[in-house]
Amino acid sequence: MKNEQTLNIKVSEFDDVCDQICSQSRTPLQSYLSLNAIKELLLMADPETAPEHRINALISEKRTQLIDSNVPYLLTALKQCNSAFIAVIHNLLERNDFYQVLQTILPELSDDDIRLLMVWAANWVKEATQLLKEGQQLDQQEYLAMRDLDKVLNPQ
Domain residue ranges in the chain = 11-153
Longest dimension (CA), the chain: 69
Segment 141-151 mean pLDDT: 96
d(CA 26, CA 20): 12
151 pLDDT above the threshold of 80: yes
Q: Greater confidence, 155 or 15?
A: 155
Alpha-carbon distance 86 to 145, whole Å?
7
> Which range scores top for mean pLDDT: 8-12, 26-30, 99-103, 118-122?
118-122
Is 40 within 8 Å of 49 (Cβ atoms)? no
CA 79 – CA 15 distance, rounded (Å):
41
Residue 24: which pLDDT band, with cuts at 50, 70 and 90? confident
- Say if residue 27's pLDDT is above 90: no
Distance CA 140, CA 134 (A): 15
Confidence of residue 87 (pLDDT cuts 50, 70, 90): very high
Indicate whether 94 pLDDT > 60: yes
pTM score, whole prediction: 0.75
Q: What angle do CA 12, 7, 47 make, to 5 degrees?
A: 70
